[in-house]
Structure 1
Amino acid sequence: MSGTEDIYGHFKEYESVLDTLIEEYNKRFNDFEKHSITLKRAFQPHIVDVSEAPEELQMELIKMSEDNILKSRFDKRENPVEIRENAIEYPRLHKHARRLISCFSSTYCCEPTFSYLAQIKNSLKTQLTDEHLEDYLRLRTTMLEPDIKMLPQKKQTQRNH
C-alpha cells in the first residue's frame, strides 16, 4: 500500500464516525432556527423587531433600543448573563433570558450524570438497589458542600448502661 492509499484508508476509517456526529449535531440543533427570534430576544434584544415580540416585552424592548450603553455591550458580545444582572430596569426581559439560560444548565447537569451512572454500574456493583444507586448519583452530582466539621458535633454518642 502506498503512502497516499494508507492516508486515504485512515480517512475512510473515520468517515462514518464523522457522518454520525454531523447527523447527531443536526438532530440536536435543528430546532434552534425555529426559536431564533426567542433567542435573539434574550441575547441580542436591541436588534429584534419589537412588533414581533409578545406585548409584555414590547415596552422594555423599546426602552432598550434607546439605551446606547446597553446596546454597545451586547454588540461587543459581552457576557449576556452579566449584562442582564446589571440591567435591572428590564425585569421582564431579564426573566425571559433566565428561562432560556436555565435550559442549557439543566442539560449540562444531565450529561455527566450518565457517565457517572456507567461508572457506578460496573461489574463490581451489580448488587446496588435502585434506591442506593439514586443516592449515589445524588451525592455525585450535587453542588452542595457538606459541613464535615459540624457532622460529628450533631452525632449523639451512646452511653454505657
Structure 2
Amino acid sequence: MEFSDQEKRILRLIQSDSSRSLAQLAEVVGMAQSTLWRKIQEFEALGLIERRVTLLNPKKAGLGLCVLAQIRLQSHTQDAVDGFVAMVRSHPEILECHKISGAADYFIKVRVADVEAYEDFMSHNLLRSDFVKTVVSNFVLKEIKHATELPL
C-alpha cells in the first residue's frame, strides 16, 4: 500500500496512542474530523487497522519472565501442524508464534510469572504435546527494545 504523508502521520499517531479523541487527532493532522473519521474507517475496511488494544506492563501484571523458545515438531503432516497451531492458540501464555526457517520449525514468545511457572508450562503443555519433538528455551535477561508501532 502507498500512503500519503498525511496518511502516514495519521497512522503513526494512532499507533503511538489510540486513546486520542477524533478531535485531537484531527487538530494535530490538520484535517476535518469527518474526513479523518472516513479515513480511519477506510483503513479498517482495508484491514490495515486490525484492532485497537491497550498495552499492559508485563511485570506489573505479574508476568515478569519472557521466554523465546524454538520448537521442532515430531512430524510435518497437516494433522500435526494443525494440532500444534490449535495447541498454541489455546494457551494465552504464548504471545507470539512464528513459522521459521532453519533448524527449528517455530519460534514462540511466552510470558509467565517466573522460571517455575515456565517449567510447569513447558513440562505440562509443550513437552507433553504429541506434536512437539524438542523445545529450546531462551530466557530474556533484559529487554532492550520493545515496539508495537510499524515504521511508516
TM-score band, normalised by shorter chain: under 0.3
TM-score (norm 2): 0.24
Higher strand share: 2
TM-score (norm 1): 0.23
Higher CA-based Rg: 1
Higher helix share: 1
